[in-house]
Amino acid sequence: MNTQAVRLDELYQEVILDHNRNPRNYAKLTEATSVAHGVNPLCGDHFDIYLVKEGALVKKVAFEGDGCAISKASASMMTQAVQGKSAQEASALKDHFIGLLTEPAPSPAHREGVGRLKFFEGVRNFPIRVKCATLAWRALEEALKGTEKQVSTE
């Protein structure tokens, strides 16, 4: 129990606090091609995710809103991780991230799939925080659906 608490403290100190204080891509994008609103009533986290898609490319991602440190840091890092990827890659990353945090046993494929975001796995030790960490990604999922234009299938 104590070691788990220490792990989360470390997360707060090293990365989460930084992103919470200075969220990246924190803006309302008037040129957004898709907007999704995510709410986690349990904690009070609420974010708008803005997406600018150009063909199959996720050209720009930004978010606006408020929430706890984990939800905000997760949203901030999500925008960094997804920007510049194809919608398909973004969606795969989203699946890995949500899978890593919500599946009964964390799979090595998900751990590998999320890359440097893998430290979020520590949030599994705090089930109430899982919804905070995955909120922005679930909103991203909706935003990606909203812009699904099927430009090219293969």
Nearest Cα to Cα of residue 49 among 70, 77, 69: 77
Q: Does residue 34 bind Zn ion (CB under 5 A)?
A: no
Answer yes or no: are the C-beta atoms of 114 and 93 closer than 8 Å.
yes
CA angle 140, 115, 60 (to 5 degrees): 35
Answer yes or no: are the C-beta atoms of 63 and 75 closer than 8 Å.
yes
Q: Does residue 43 bind Zn ion (CB under 5 A)?
A: yes
Number of residues interacting with Zn ion: please give it, by CB under 5 A: 5
Q: Does residue 71 bind Zn ion (CB under 5 A)?
A: yes
CB nearer to Zn ion: pick between 16 and 68: 68
Which of 51, 68, 100, 117 touches Zn ion (CB under 5 A)?
A: 68
Distance CA 145, CA 129 (A): 25
Which of 132, 136, 139, 140 touches Zn ion (CB under 5 A)?
A: 132
Q: Which residues bind Zn ion (CB under 5 A)?
A: 43, 45, 68, 71, 132
